[in-house]
Chain A
């Protein structure tokens, strides 16, 4: 059997993914065709002052049953997400959460005020995730969401506003386990 190389990880140890200080975490940017930096109707300079606004953090204890129920709901039979007995033999020494389990740990999303009235429609545009450490049963994860970006583009149905939120998932040892950037669309 070959060596594990940089993925080496004995049961129960941290993954130790290097995060270069010289290059801040930069997620693959979700780009939207048609975006132009022209005069915006809703995302004005004043509205953009909301970028950086953070919601109340929330700390959640990760229950083994919640991980199992999530894995069952998405139909993922991987033993690492389902069976503590089998997962104990593996590199993490126990069950971990599937990549998108973090969604079930939602914290308050800061309110974004835009002069759009009440009649706008909303869409979920997508998500960019980065994973640094596994989330294990019994972890206490602190979740916090902030407004990362506000943009506007001209769509077929008029102006479209892209609200990007960044959510961090930090464990009880202060390690950032995951960062999610999600884009909501209002039009």
Chain B
């Protein structure tokens, strides 16, 4: 695997995480329902969703959680480790419109020998509204480690 690895020393608070754009479709929601076992009909049955006063089928919050997980495992790289991931579902998102996962470094520190980086993360819709804010902590490799 030859993907670029980021190191603890490469980052400072304020550094931006490479954004991850996603284009969820109704087909993806069906696939996610099958893969996760979440078969709540608001995610694939339009009539059911409308009857429940929704504008149409909506994304699983858990799928947005997964997108933000991908943002962070891509950021941490093959030699990093996603240590914590928190998401809060504040707004609905619908298939057919793109969403973008973004984030920035808030703090970096060494704790019990681990090189940790805290990040503020969020998923935003096409209007730039943060429908799913959250936070994450990654452990990164250090260039300066002894040995």
Contact = CB atoms under 8 A, between A and B. Distances in A.
A: interface residue count bin:
35 or more
Interface string B116-147: 00000000000000000011000111111111
A27 B86 contact: yes
A126 B22 CA distance: 20
A131 B83 contact: yes
Contact of A2 (B70, B134, B143): B143
Contact of A126 (B80, B88, B139): B88
Contacts of B28: 73, 75
B95 interface: no
B7 interface: yes
B113 A6 contact: yes
B85 A99 contact: yes
A39 interface: no
Contact of B31 (A4, A72, A127, A131): A72
A62 to B, nearest CB: 13
Nearest to A29: B86
B98 to A, nearest CB: 12
A61 interface: no
Given A7-B80, A18-B114, A127 B32 contact: no
A100 B65 contact: yes
A21 to B, nearest CB: 12
Contact of B86 (A4, A20, A80, A126): A126
A6 B115 contact: yes
A78 B114 CA distance: 24
A73 B34 contact: yes
A20 B143 CA distance: 25
Contacts of A74: 32, 35, 63, 66-67, 69-70
A175 to B, nearest CB: 14
A76 B63 CA distance: 11
A13 B86 CA distance: 26
B80 A100 contact: no
B143 A7 contact: no
Given A73-B32, A99-B72, 4 more contacts: A4-B141, A69-B34, A103-B38, A104-B35
6 contacts: A2-B144, A7-B115, A98-B70, A99-B82, A104-B35, A129-B85
Report, nearest first, the 3 A-B pairs whose CB atoms are least far apart: A5-B145, A2-B143, A5-B142
Interface of A: 2-7, 15, 17-18, 20, 27-28, 30, 66, 69-70, 72-76, 78-80, 86-87, 89-91, 98-100, 103-104, 106, 123-131
